[in-house]
Structure 1
Amino acid sequence: MNNYQSLFDTQKEFFYTDTSKTYEWRIEQLTRLEKFLTDNQKVFCEALKTDFNKPPFEQLFEITVPLGAIKYYKENLQKLMTPEQVEIPKGLEETGNKGMIYKEPYGVTLVIGPFNAPVLLLLEPAIAALSAGNPVVLKPANTTPTVARLFAELIPKYFEPEAVTIVTGGREEITELLKLPFDFIFFTGSSAVGKVVMRAAAENLTPIVLELGGQNPTIVDETANLDIAVDRILWGHMAISGQWCIAPGYVYVHESIAEEFIDKLKKSTIKMYGEDPSQSPDFARMISESDTQRVASYIIPEKVVLGGRFNVKDRYVEPTILYPSTWEDPAMQQEIFGPVFPILVYNDLKEIIEIIKRKPKSLSAYFFSKNQDNIDYFLNTVSFGGGCINQTNLHCWIESLPFGGVGNAGIGKYYGKAGFDALSNSKSMLIGNPDLELDVFPPYAGKDIAKNLSVFG
């Protein structure tokens, strides 16, 4: 017997009552989650600091972003739930038929969250799921144990188990959960684990959203405003000590401005984190000693132009700039997920875009330029989940911009309307005229079939 069968059955039986399909139930769950966050903001911020020294701004970010999502759904839920009338063939419409799309919840939804934003990236999918009328099972990351314990303690105080419940633990618990026939699975994490989740979902033909990652490219051409670019790129890469899936993974900088870019990037690093970033209140730690060792192994001493120090026991890797990097370097072989930053040089934009195109598709990509032709070429040529022009990272916290990957970086989009749609089945209906005579049935001999079929044209 599966350890979580009764938990699943409780939510499944509740879903069969159709209660979660109502507007009132959905609003109530959003209100409860809103109170959950506001009541416990301080303790969650403390837990984030305890688990990996997350800075105050990044702590608060994890609370304010889901609160913004709740606000969006509360304000727009009625509209999102309203069946949509769509165009159908003129002949059918003129004879009293209409086409409708109804949004219905899938059912019991499993949300598996990551460690790097353990509050935000667990709750954002849950908010979309609840808004769409789905009961939710939450599985927080076990590598942020303080946050996970808080969820386990607090969720039962704010939610009925048939609406929202929680399972903590690691690989063993996830394996057991994935054996259950969930109606939907939402996973945020690595591509390697994403493949495991997808294989498990395939056993029950369960629809999924996979939010994964990859080595996100950044290009800085010769027209870019470097004073603006370096701060945005550096923050984009170094926040959460480089441990977020949308971080710029590497930078291609035009040869004519490369030395200036490196000089400004070094100054920006010192400005943000000081001469000794280990003492900075704004620089997070790696999630584990093994990850610290992994990221430190990417450091090539002769290419270090800033940083390079690390302490495995303290889970610390100094913000490190590697220049000039090449595709043969260890840091360029996979997603870094840490504060080691390779910088490459180019002289032909089309040449490097051809290289990027042939790499695994990334979750995000960034381009800094004032040349619209270059920007258009980049946007029309390179496939990736989403990104920014002359900015980094902020695209993924805007409810009106669907967020998600493509290819190796993930499947499906969410946030805002896209999130509601992703967690809803679009039930397409032709509402027929009960009095319309339409004889398209056998026997066909002697019937003007073409005339009857003309209503579909």
Structure 2
Amino acid sequence: MTNRFQSLFDAQKEHFFSDATKSYEWRIDQLDRIERLLLDNRQALCAALYQDFGKPPFEQLFEITVPSGVIKYYRENLRQLMAPQPVAIPTGLEETGNRGVIHKEPYGVTLVIGPFNAPILLLLDPAIAALAAGNPVILKPANTTPATAALFQQLVPQYFAPENVSVVTGGRDEIGALLELPFDFIFFTGSSAVGKVVMRAAAEHLTPVLLELGGQNPTLVDETANLDIAADRIAWGHNAISGQWCIAPGYVCVHESVAEAFIAKLKASVIRMYGEDPSKSPDFARMISSHDAERVASYILPDKLVHGGRFDIEARYVEPTILYPSTWDDPALQQEIFGPVLPVMPYRDLKAVVDVIKRKPKPLAAYVFSKNQQAIDYVLGSLSFGGGCINQTNLHCWIDSLPFGGVGNSGMGKYYGKAGFDALSNTKALLIGNPDVLLDVFPPYAGKDIERNLSVFS
């Protein structure tokens, strides 16, 4: 049976074969079109985000401004990124007139599957990198944000020719059909479970993938930390988007000597940001579904509840909640929470708690609050994670010069800025020889100084 998306895929493939997408002008034109789509429709996009899960104004605008900033980076740097890059080669080869050059070429037709939690930003940022690298793109927005997905379906054809950028909406059946096609590259943002499905499908065609997944992100607060700063940044980092972002602090390990003081400051920070009743706060989002609200509410243990704990499943609401003292056996620490319930555990020995964390699945992010450089260096040297912050949370993932992505269970591959261009480009390495200089390394070898001839390669 013919795949329902075959003709769309074939049209993009033929367009790619024409080499039209490889020019600087095509790439810049596609980026300009994304920017116009964002700016022309800012109010409609923000309204869709609010309709889907009550995203507050700051978080709405964040989804518009961050992709615009990425476009600005590529507009300023694209010629340099596209230019052939000379590289050093062995002296002997260089002296005989050879030179090494790296060309970056686009992979081809690229599938970008976006998540629900940042359905504009995390769909368009990968698409921007793909287009900057010269790849036509098929976008698959999350079906759990229906208003945003429907708006993309309406707007994309107004700004793009289908052979350049197209959008496919729908759920599991549509994703399954798309994954049957032999894409040249697949970029997926979402859960580790679905990431495995995407990777298995990609393996059928040996399609390279970039998987931006998630995990339970550790946060360490030691006895030297500025507790006011730590409390504010963790409270915001964990509860923004109602805790539904892959880089949110998943749990906090705080030194026992400052644990009670930290808990008091963390509670004060949450109240200052969202009020005594966060259900009335214009700055606190809702869960994406009643199912997820019920799942996250099930992590709340009454005997460990020190703040929050209220929820309304039908309204998709779970209050910012702090659990203390948590233990590794608690339900909230068995998986990524992806909601506004924060377990906090006291620790006595830094090396002991790091030893526990390092044996768990590798997280997408980790955060350390400390003024002790020796302790910071120990954590950085011992723990493996995708990226993170020292005395800060979350913001590392929107800085162009910091490659963003996971490791192990939290993903593979990095993007943003130059890293995004490189990830969506094939590195074509070339040795360019001198057509007029003899380099005799060919048989017959009798009577030749083989070691001398081979020395040109070292």
TM-score range, shorter chain: over 0.9
Size of the aligned set, in residue pairs, is: 457
- Counterpart in 2 of 1:343? 344
Please state how far the C-alpha of 1:451 moved relative to its aligned partner.
Answer: 2.3
- State the alpha-carbon separation in 1 of the partners of residues 373 and 275 from structure 2: 36
SS in 2 for 1:403: coil
- Counterpart in 1 of 2:299? 298
Pairs within 5 Å for 1:13-52: 13-52=14-53
AA aligned to 2:167 is I
- Counterpart in 1 of 2:130? 129
Please state if 1:232 is matched with 2:228: no
- Counterpart in 2 of 1:409? 410
- Counterpart in 2 of 1:359? 360
Gaps of 5+ in 2: none
- Counterpart in 2 of 1:333? 334
CA displacement 1:171-215 (0-9 Å, x = unmatched):
000000000000000000000000000000000000010000000
SS in 1 for 2:153: helix
- Counterpart in 2 of 1:118? 119
- State the alpha-carbon separation in 2 of the partners of residues 330 and 91 from structure 1: 62
Please state if 1:266 is matched with 2:267: yes
Please state how far the C-alpha of 1:438 moved relative to its aligned partner.
Answer: 1.6
- State the alpha-carbon separation in 2 of the partners of residues 449 and 21 from structure 1: 43
- Counterpart in 2 of 1:429? 430
Please state how far the C-alpha of 1:439 moved relative to its aligned partner.
Answer: 1.9
- State the alpha-carbon separation in 2 of the partners of residues 441 and 399 from structure 1: 48
Pairs within 5 Å for 1:56-455: 56-455=57-456
AA aligned to 1:449 is I
SS in 1 for 2:337: coil
- State the alpha-carbon separation in 1 of the partners of residues 449 and 254 from structure 2: 69
Please state how far the C-alpha of 1:442 moved relative to its aligned partner.
Answer: 2.1
SS in 1 for 2:101: strand
Please state how far the C-alpha of 1:402 moved relative to its aligned partner.
Answer: 0.1
AA aligned to 2:112 is V
Please state how far the C-alpha of 1:447 moved relative to its aligned partner.
Answer: 2.4
- State the alpha-carbon separation in 2 of the partners of residues 456 and 271 from structure 1: 65
SS in 2 for 1:168: coil
SS in 2 for 1:71: helix
SS in 2 for 1:391: coil
CA displacement 1:79-130 (0-9 Å, x = unmatched):
0000100000000001110000000000000000000000000000000000
- State the alpha-carbon separation in 2 of the partners of residues 438 and 256 from structure 1: 70
- State the alpha-carbon separation in 1 of the partners of residues 99 and 271 from structure 2: 63
AA aligned to 2:405 is G
Please state how far the C-alpha of 1:440 moved relative to its aligned partner.
Answer: 1.9
CA displacement 1:417-439 (0-9 Å, x = unmatched):
00000000000000000011122
- State the alpha-carbon separation in 2 of the partners of residues 82 and 453 from structure 1: 31
SS in 1 for 2:100: strand
CA displacement 1:125-179 (0-9 Å, x = unmatched):
0000000000000000000000000000000000011110000000000000000
AA aligned to 2:57 is P
Please state how far the C-alpha of 1:258 moved relative to its aligned partner.
Answer: 0.6
Please state how far the C-alpha of 1:302 moved relative to its aligned partner.
Answer: 1.1
- Counterpart in 1 of 2:54? 53
Please state how far the C-alpha of 1:443 moved relative to its aligned partner.
Answer: 2.1
- State the alpha-carbon separation in 2 of the partners of residues 444 and 334 from structure 1: 63
CA displacement 1:358-392 (0-9 Å, x = unmatched):
01000000000011111111111110000000000
SS in 2 for 1:61: helix
- State the alpha-carbon separation in 2 of the partners of residues 259 and 454 from structure 1: 67
Please state how far the C-alpha of 1:448 moved relative to its aligned partner.
Answer: 2.5
- State the alpha-carbon separation in 2 of the partners of residues 408 and 113 from structure 1: 18
- State the alpha-carbon separation in 1 of the partners of residues 267 and 452 from structure 2: 75
- State the alpha-carbon separation in 1 of the partners of residues 199 and 388 from structure 2: 25
- State the alpha-carbon separation in 1 of the partners of residues 451 and 331 from structure 2: 66
Deviates most, 263-272 or 58-67 = 263-272
SS in 2 for 1:384: coil
- State the alpha-carbon separation in 2 of the partners of residues 274 and 440 from structure 1: 77
AA aligned to 2:11 is T
AA aligned to 1:168 is T
Please state how far the C-alpha of 1:344 moved relative to its aligned partner.
Answer: 0.2
Please state how far the C-alpha of 1:264 moved relative to its aligned partner.
Answer: 0.8
CA displacement 1:216-257 (0-9 Å, x = unmatched):
000000011111110100100000000000000000001111
- State the alpha-carbon separation in 1 of the partners of residues 296 and 383 from structure 2: 27
- State the alpha-carbon separation in 1 of the partners of residues 170 and 361 from structure 2: 31
AA aligned to 2:132 is S
Which 4+ runs in 1 deviate beyond 3 A? Answer: none
SS in 2 for 1:232: helix
- State the alpha-carbon separation in 2 of the partners of residues 175 and 367 from structure 1: 40
